[in-house]
Structure 1
Amino acid sequence: MFGEVEHELELHVPASEAWDLFGGLAIGKLVEKEMPEKFQKVELIEGDGGVGTILKLTFTPGVPGPTSLNEKFIKIDAEKRIKEVEVVEGGYLDLGFTLYRIRLEVIEKGEESSIMKTTIEYEVKEEEEVDASLLSIKPLANIIEVGKNYLIRTRATKEAK
């Protein structure tokens, strides 16, 4: 069974600023710092933030779902502002998924605003039963919201100086 879920959120910052946060490693560092209730640790296993980079995400004990997973950056298109990451070890793969891919796309809305479109693509073996809550876009939407708030705070701080 193949499926996908999507979410869009207006960020109220220029697309270039949003891409600077979401297009590389910065978002991983931010969620580790600002979401300790969800993320115990985000570790760089391999790479420098480009295609082929592998991160290990360790979730805080008690968070529903996997305890950890490794994700690999499989596509980064700075011109189109698209980043795709795929779970390559542990996590959702241990829970019956054969594919769990996240696509982040920063869409320019104007000089001072952009939209973050997030998509989760997944595949599950027909014979597997998977907890439907794992197919929710809500945890990813929460990460995007944390990023949005950070971008707005950072921008306000710069403008105040």
Structure 2
Amino acid sequence: MVAGTVGHEILSPISPSRLWKAMVKDSHNLMPKLMPEIISSIVVLEGDGGVGTIRQSNFTDAIKDFSYWKDRIDEIDDNNRLFKYSVIEGGLLGKKVKSTTFTLEFKDGINGGSICKFHGEFETVEGNLPKEEETEEMMGNMEGMFKAVEGYLLENPNAYV
């Protein structure tokens, strides 16, 4: 087993508060609408959206390696716009990774925009780290989701204000 990390930072013209509301607080409603070709639904199975909440993300056939994952909210800090969650079932658990945790953070950027930081930590099942192409694909998928939300917010300036 090998531990590893991936990270990415994106600059956005959207304010941190709008991104926080859309990507964290209402992702279960917004993401399936914005990306129906990938995400069929996100269901809150347990909890009220705070720490300990369990959600299940269901994916379409566009995702070849798995059909769903369940995650648990480990930390949610509205004041600092910090969100941390762990995948607890499904996804690549047991196939390629033993554990996976993601952190999203939204900081003030220039001209009212944001600096959005994505960080992932994982332990592999086998003794090999993912290939560079695999981590780039993972970060590309995260950025694609981010850009879908960003595009929606740019087109809908009154959403999530």
Aligned match of 1:139 in 141, 158, 161? 141
Q: Which amino acid aligns with 1:23?
A: V
The answer for the alignment partner of 2:61 in structure 1 is 61
Q: Using the aligned pairs only, state the percent identity.
A: 25
User: In the alignment, does 2:8 pair up with 1:7?
Assistant: yes
Aligned to 2:152: 150
Do 1:96 and 1:129's aligned partners in 2 also have CA atoms closer than 8 Å? Answer: no
Moved more, 38-47 or 13-22: 13-22
Superposition CA RMSD, Å: 2.3
Letter in 2 for 1:137: M
- C-alpha distance in structure 2 between counterparts of 1:17 and 1:139, whole Å: 21
2:20 corresponds to 1:19: yes
CA distance in 2 between counterparts of 1:129 and 1:156 reads 43
TM-score under structure 1 normalisation? 0.86
1: CA distance, partners of 2:159 / 2:146:
20
Counterpart residue number, 2:109: 109
Amino acid at match of 1:40: S
Bigger shift: 105-114 or 76-85? 105-114
| Alignment size in residue pairs | 157
Q: What does residue range 26-41 of structure 1 map to in structure 2 within 5 Å? A: 26-41=26-41
Contact 1:2/1:122, CA 8 A, preserved across alignment: yes
Contact 2:153 2:159 in 1 (8 A): no
State TM-score, norm by structure 2: 0.86
Cα distance in 2 for residues equivalent to 1:47 and 1:157: 25
Distance in 1 (CA, whole Å) between partners of 2:49 and 2:79 is 16
Alpha-carbon spacing, 1:21–1:112, altered in 2? closer, same or farther (3 Å): same
What secondary structure does 1:22 align onto? helix
